[in-house]
């Protein structure tokens, strides 16, 4: 029995990675849910919007690095992030003007908009591949660790180490800042309130003089900012590859639906539910259990419920369960 | 009708042009995949055009068709079935029984904490029972000569039988998906099918006992003669030489023509059946349901049931095409199944061709597949012209030349957006 070591092993291998991953998913799901709430369609191009924003941020990071500008112990990408957000916002506003607005005026069915977003996804994916290629790019610099496993062991004298990477800490802190700012914006500002009114009842909002084009534009800018931040944090934490962001689409959608499409607080909760389920189901619990049970009870196998390759299956299973038993999600989203 | 004929004539000119300007061998290569793509597009068109079901899991059904080829026609692995075959089958039955029991618990017991606990208990016990039976059986199968086999092996049946088997396998999966996800909103079906497709590919990549996973299955049996055998046969070489062909090229072309004949037969059969179905009372009912579900329901039609039916039928058609594709490649490589290529490209075919129209789907299949293959060389030529004036070795020139290969996605996306905007009913509109 060694509860402290078991706890540290749990924190190190399950809680900290799950927290960082959950924050990234939550930011992605917030973008999806905002678009759904205001524009009323599932945006399949969201993953590639993330890829585009991350790509611009990487390019700016390289430029900053070659100019000798850095952020000290923090990754240079954090300075480059606003440029990435600006470029992505310009791109999605342009896309809205050139593509989506036509269908909005027509009041096209949501499925048509989803197919249109597939086309946008192709184009954005093509642009990203065209500009930066398909190779794996690692762009994190600065301090690698906040606390290394060795330091932690020396500090506490425990057998297990707890390593916290800088990128994980930055992810969580940035996510909290962004979420607080978003909720302040939605609940306290005039524009934010008009967005919520528009999402609740479009006709009533129009009658009370809310300018729909303005609401839509602000929504796209917010979605671009959220997507770029999520993409950059994910890229810093893991690495950037043109098509990994497409694969994130499924857990992101799962998170948004689990929380209730259209509900921002639901998207955050959904992100953490999906992330922690993925990590707990695919983690090999042998290490933690060995500390917890008497020595001769120690498990022989890995005590892994499912192999890591099936993490998609986990987000999917949660998605199906929620759809079957709670179709509007945990936080009562919309169901059109 | 004239417009349809003109469009098909245009596509024929594209293929003939490729044959004359490049080589007949590559033109036939494109044609074979175009035939398969047309069948996939027909399957998607049945689901989308007839019933408005938004399936973005095409890739999964294609892959299941491929898996069926391995399971039906690959040579049996000696001793594999005896080692763990019954164990695996038993475990799968146990898994299905667990799910069935869970559904019964949910339906029979009154709502409340007892029901939730009972459901959880059934699922947890079932899962561990499944793993206890499944894991040793899988280990036993994978231990058999893993460098060569390590899989359960096929039945060794003729490969043509694998095509209907692919359809059946895909249909069975579609039934299970449809039972859970149909009747939900349209976007939810899209996301559910997207997930299912990823899971099917993950299973095929990781379950080595099934079809060797990423170690790939190669040299699967073929329904047509091998090029080498033709080149060795004196009669064939004589025949080629009397017509003045090079025996090497002639053998490649003859093999491709054999495939094209087989695929063409399947395509004609499926088009004929779907056209008959669309013009029957059943087809009119399906279109009525698509256009107004509420009215159809008021007329006493069981909308969810009809949706399930068309979903399963469409998936079966896609599965047949998937099996044909694996037969054409004579190998199954789970790593090559990409959603952009196998799901979204098929969607571009259906939308460009014209949703709801079978001829449109076929035309879209041919046209878009030709473009998909040819965009790369065309893009290279284009970039070559653009960069001709730039200094050799300049950064921009190298970058542009390297990136030309990625023009495909951009072009497909633009085509999809332009068609949706300016001709939303497609080239050959359905009714």
CA-based nearest residue in chain A for residue B416: A119
3-state secondary structure of B332: strand
**C-alpha to C-alpha distance for B213 and B334, rounded to whole angstroms:** 7
Q: Is A247 near chain B, with CB under 8 Å?
A: yes
Q: Is A184 near chain B, with CB under 8 Å?
A: no
Q: How confident is the model at residue A336 (pLDDT cuts 50, 70, 90)?
A: very low
| Residues in CB range of B404: below 8 A, 6 or more apart | B376, B379, B380, B382, B383
Mean pLDDT confidence for B138-159: 83
State which of A5-14, A313-322, B13-22, B222-231 shows the largest mean pLDDT.
B13-22
Rg value, chain B, Cα = 24
In chain A, what's the furthest Cα-to-Cα distance? 72
Continuous H helices in B143-185: 162-181
The minimum CA-CA distance between A311 and chain B, rounded to whole Å, is 9
Q: Choose the mutation target among A98, A119, A247 for the interface with B, i.e. most B CBs under 10 Å.
A: A119
Residue B1 is predicted with a pLDDT of 64
Sign of CA dihedral B389, B393, B395, B400: positive
Q: Choose the mutation target among A55, A97, A103, A115 for the interface with B, i.e. most B CBs under 10 Å.
A: A115
Q: Choose the mutation target among B195, B208, B368, B382 for the interface with A, i.e. most A CBs under 10 Å.
A: B195
Q: Inspect the interface and report whether the beta carbons of B206 and A111 lie closer than 8 Å.
A: no
Give percent of chain A above pLDDT 70.
99
Say if residue A296 is exposed, middle or buried (CB neighbours under 10 Å; 0-12, 13-18, 19+). exposed
CA dihedral A291, A294, A297, A300 (to 10 degrees): 20
A311-325 vs A264-282: helix crossing angle, rounded to 10: 130
Geometric angle at alpha carbon A238, from A234 and A243, rounded to 5° = 75
Cβ pairs A/B, distance under 8 A = 125
Tens of pLDDT, residue by residue over B317-345, are 999 999 999 999 999 999 899 888 899 99
Q: Inspect the interface and report whether the beta carbons of A120 and B406 lie closer than 8 Å.
A: no
Q: How confident is the model at residue A1 (pLDDT cuts 50, 70, 90)?
A: low
The pair of structure tokens assigned to B304 is 């969810």
Q: Inspect the interface and report whether the beta carbons of A313 and B185 lie closer than 8 Å.
A: no
Q: Inspect the interface and report whether the beta carbons of A122 and B413 lie closer than 8 Å.
A: yes
C-alpha distance from residue B119 to each of A197, A329, B102, B106, B114 (Å): 40, 20, 6, 7, 8
Which residues of chain B does A135 touch, with a Cβ-Cβ cutoff of 8 Å?
A: none
Best CA proximity match to A221, nearest among A95, A41, A106, A113 = A95
Residue A216 is predicted with a pLDDT of 94
**C-alpha to C-alpha distance for B98 and B92, rounded to whole angstroms:** 10
Q: How confident is the model at residue B15 (pLDDT cuts 50, 70, 90)?
A: very high
Mean pLDDT confidence for B145-163: 85
C-alpha distance from residue A250 to each of A128, A221, A244, A258, B44 (Å): 20, 23, 11, 12, 21
Q: Which has the minimum average pLDDT: A322-336, B268-282, B384-398?
A: A322-336
Q: Is A321 near chain B, with CB under 8 Å?
A: no
**C-alpha to C-alpha distance for A298 and A292, rounded to whole angstroms:** 9
Q: Inspect the interface and report whether the beta carbons of B421 and A112 lie closer than 8 Å.
A: no
User: Looking at the DSSP assignment, which residues form a beta bridge with residue B162?
Assistant: none
Tens of pLDDT, residue by residue over B232-288, are 888 888 888 888 888 888 889 999 999 999 999 999 999 999 999 988 999 899 888
Displacement of CA B378 from its chain's centroid (Å): 27
Residue A334 is predicted with a pLDDT of 63
Q: Which has the minimum average pLDDT: A50-64, A83-97, A201-215, B59-73?
A: A201-215
Residue A333 is predicted with a pLDDT of 66
Residue B361 is predicted with a pLDDT of 95
Residue B85 is predicted with a pLDDT of 84
- Mean pLDDT across chain A: 88
Mean pLDDT confidence for A49-54: 96
A107: left (phi over 0), alpha (psi -120 to 50) or beta: left
Q: Inspect the interface and report whether the beta carbons of A313 and B52 lie closer than 8 Å.
A: no
Buried b (16+ CB within 10 A) or exposed e, A192-220: bebbebbbeeeeebeeeebeeeebbbbbb
Q: Which of A126, A250, A305 sits opposite B195 (nearest CB)?
A: A250
C-alpha distance from residue B95 to each of A40, A70, A320, B129 (Å): 38, 55, 17, 8
Element (H, E) at B63: helix B58-73
Mean pLDDT confidence for B6-11: 95
Which residues of chain B does A133 touch, with a Cβ-Cβ cutoff of 8 Å?
A: 402-403, 406
Which residues of chain B does A257 touch, with a Cβ-Cβ cutoff of 8 Å?
A: 188, 191
CB A49 within 8 A of CB A223: yes
User: Looking at the DSSP assignment, which residues form a beta bridge with residue A147?
Assistant: A164
3-state secondary structure of B184: strand
Q: Which of B198, B347, B409 sits opposite A126 (nearest CB)?
A: B409
Helix H, strand E, coil C: the string for chain A is CCHHHHHHHHHHHHHHHHHHHHHHHHHHHHHHHHHHHHHCCCCCCHHHHHHHHHHHHHHHHHHHHHCCCCECCECCHHHHHHHHHHHHHHHHHHHHHHHHHHHHHHCCCHHHHHHHHHHHHHHHHHHHHHHHCCCCECCCCCCCEEECHHHHHHHHCCCCCCCEEHHHHHHHHHHHHHHHHHHHHHHHCHHHHHHHHHHHCHHHHHHCCCCHHHHHHHHHHHHHHHHHHHHHHHHHHCCECCCHHHHHHHHHHHHHHHHCCCCHHHHHHHHHHHHHHHHHHHCCCHHHHHHHCCHHHCCCCCCCCCCHHHHHHHHHHHHHHHHHHCCCCCCCCCCC
CB B313 within 8 A of CB B325: no
Q: How confident is the model at residue A288 (pLDDT cuts 50, 70, 90)?
A: confident
From chain A residues 278-317, the ones with a CB under 8 A of any chain B CB are 305, 307, 309-310, 312-313, 315-316
Q: Inspect the interface and report whether the beta carbons of A123 and B417 lie closer than 8 Å.
A: yes
Q: Choose the mutation target among B47, B135, B191, B350 for the interface with A, i.e. most A CBs under 10 Å.
A: B191
Which residues of chain A does B351 touch, with a Cβ-Cβ cutoff of 8 Å?
A: 115
Give percent of chain B above pLDDT 70.
99
Residue A201 is predicted with a pLDDT of 86
3-state secondary structure of B76: strand
Q: Which of B199, B205, B402 sits opposite A316 (nearest CB)?
A: B199
**C-alpha to C-alpha distance for B289 and B309, rounded to whole angstroms:** 13
Tens of pLDDT, residue by residue over B402-418, are 777 778 888 999 999 99
Q: Choose the mutation target among A126, A270, A335 for the interface with B, i.e. most B CBs under 10 Å.
A: A126
Tens of pLDDT, residue by residue over B189-221, are 888 888 889 889 989 988 888 888 888 888 888
Give percent of chain B above pLDDT 90.
46
Q: Give me the domains of chain A, ranges plus CATH numbers.
A: 3-325 (1.10.3470)
Mean pLDDT confidence for B90-95: 92
Residue A296 is predicted with a pLDDT of 74
Task: Tell me B77's DSSP state.
Answer: P
The minimum CA-CA distance between A80 and chain B, rounded to whole Å, is 23
Q: How confident is the model at residue B149 (pLDDT cuts 50, 70, 90)?
A: confident
Q: How confident is the model at residue A313 (pLDDT cuts 50, 70, 90)?
A: confident
Q: Which of A120, A257, A312 sits opposite B413 (nearest CB)?
A: A120
C-alpha distance from residue B23 to each of B29, B195, B385 (Å): 10, 40, 23
Q: pTM, whole model, 2 decimals?
A: 0.90
Tens of pLDDT, residue by residue over A122-176, are 999 999 998 888 889 888 888 888 888 888 888 888 888 888 899 999 999 999 9
Higher-scoring residue by pLDDT: B187, A196: A196
Q: Inspect the interface and report whether the beta carbons of A253 and B191 lie closer than 8 Å.
A: yes
Q: Which of A119, A130, A133 sits opposite B417 (nearest CB)?
A: A119
State which of A28-32, A310-314, A332-336, B302-306 shows the largest mean pLDDT.
A28-32
3-state secondary structure of B206: helix
Mean pLDDT confidence for B99-106: 90
From chain A residues 58-77, the ones with a CB under 8 A of any chain B CB are none
Mean pLDDT confidence for B356-370: 94
């Amino acid at each position: 029995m060694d509860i402290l070591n078991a706890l540290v092993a749990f924190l190190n291998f399950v809680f900290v990675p799950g927290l960082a991953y959950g924050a990234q998913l939550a930011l992605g799901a917030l973008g999806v849910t905002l678009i759904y709430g205001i524009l009323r369609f599932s945006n399949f191009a969201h993953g590639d919007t993330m890829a585009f924003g991350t790509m611009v941020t990487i390019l700016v990071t390289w430029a900053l690095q070659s100019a000798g500008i850095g952020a000290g112990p923090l990754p240079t990408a954090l300075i480059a992030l606003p440029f990435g957000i600006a470029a992505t916002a310009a791109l999605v506003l342009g896309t809205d003007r050139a593509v989506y607005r036509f269908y909005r005026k027509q009041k096209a069915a949501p499925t048509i908009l989803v197919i249109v977003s597939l086309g946008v996804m192709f184009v954005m994916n093509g642009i990203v591949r065209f500009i930066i290629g398909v190779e794996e790019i690692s762009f994190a610099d600065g301090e690698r660790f906040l606390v290394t496993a060795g330091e932690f062991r020396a500090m506490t004298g425990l057998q297990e180490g707890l390593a916290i990477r800088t990128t994980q800490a930055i992810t969580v802190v940035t996510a909290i800042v962004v979420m607080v700012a978003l909720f302040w914006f939605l609940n306290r500002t005039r524009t934010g309130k008009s967005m919520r009114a528009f999402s609740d009842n479009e006709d009533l909002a129009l009658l009370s003089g809310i300018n729909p084009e303005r609401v839509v534009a602000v929504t796209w800018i917010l979605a671009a900012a959220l997507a770029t931040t999520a993409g950059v944090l994910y890229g810093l934490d893991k690495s950037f590859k043109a098509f990994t962001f497409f694969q994130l689409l499924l857990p992101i959608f799962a998170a948004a639906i689990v929380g209730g499409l259209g509900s921002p607080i639901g998207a955050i909760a959904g992100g953490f539910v999906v992330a922690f389920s993925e990590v707990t189901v695919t983690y090999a619990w042998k290490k933690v259990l060995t500390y917890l049970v008497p020595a001769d009870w120690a498990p022989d196998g890995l005590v892994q419920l499912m192999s890591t390759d099936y993490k998609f299956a986990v987000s999917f299973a949660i998605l199906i369960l929620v759809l079957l038993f709670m179709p509007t999600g945990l936080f009562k989203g919309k169901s059109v | 009708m004239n417009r349809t004929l003109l469009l098909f004539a245009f596509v024929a000119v594209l293929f003939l042009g490729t044959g004359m300007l490049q080589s007949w061998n590559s033109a036939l290569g494109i044609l074979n995949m175009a035939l398969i793509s047309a069948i996939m597009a027909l399957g998607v068109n049945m689901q989308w055009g007839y019933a408005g079901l938004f399936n973005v899991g095409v890739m999964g059904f294609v892959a299941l068709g491929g898996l069926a080829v391995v399971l039906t026609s690959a040579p049996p692995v000696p001793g594999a079935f005896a080692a763990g075959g019954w164990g695996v089958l038993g475990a799968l039955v146990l898994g299905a029984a667990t799910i069935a029991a869970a559904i019964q618990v949910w339906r029979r017991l009154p709502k409340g904490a007892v029901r939730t606990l009972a459901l959880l208990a059934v699922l947890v016990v079932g899962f561990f029972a499944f793993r206890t039976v499944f894991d040793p059986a899988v280990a036993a199968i994978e231990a058999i000569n893993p460098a060569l086999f390590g899989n359960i092996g096929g039945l060794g049946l003729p490969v043509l039988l694998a095509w209907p088997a692919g359809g059946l396998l895909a249909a069975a999966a579609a039934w299970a998906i449809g039972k859970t996800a149909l009747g939900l909103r349209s976007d939810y079906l899209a996301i559910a099918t997207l997930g299912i497709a990823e899971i099917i590919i993950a299973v095929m990549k990781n379950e080595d006992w099934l079809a060797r996973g990423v170690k790939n299955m190669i040299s699967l049996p073929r329904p047509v003669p091998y090029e080498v055998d033709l080149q060795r046969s004196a009669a064939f070489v004589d025949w080629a030489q009397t017509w003045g062909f090079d025996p090497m090229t002639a053998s490649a072309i003859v093999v491709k023509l054999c495939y094209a004949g087989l695929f063409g037969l399947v395509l004609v059969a499926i088009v004929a059946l779907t056209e008959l179905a669309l013009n029957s009372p059943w087809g009119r009912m399906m279109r009525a349901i698509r256009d107004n579900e509420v009215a159809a329901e008021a007329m006493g039609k069981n909308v969810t049931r009809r949706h399930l039916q068309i979903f399963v039928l469409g998936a079966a058609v896609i599965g047949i095409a998937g099996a044909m594709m694996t037969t054409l490649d004579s190998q199954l490589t789970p790593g090559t199944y990409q959603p952009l290529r196998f799901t979204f490209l098929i969607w571009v075919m259906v939308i460009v061709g014209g949703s709801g129209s079978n001829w449109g789907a076929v035309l879209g299949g041919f046209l878009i597949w030709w473009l998909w293959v040819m965009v790369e060389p065309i893009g290279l030529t284009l970039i070559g012209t653009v960069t001709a004036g730039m200094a050799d070795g300049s950064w921009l020139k190298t970058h542009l030349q390297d990136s030309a290969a990625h023009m495909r996605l951009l072009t497909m996306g633009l085509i999809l957006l332009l068609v949706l905007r300016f001709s939303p009913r497609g080239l050959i509109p359905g009714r």
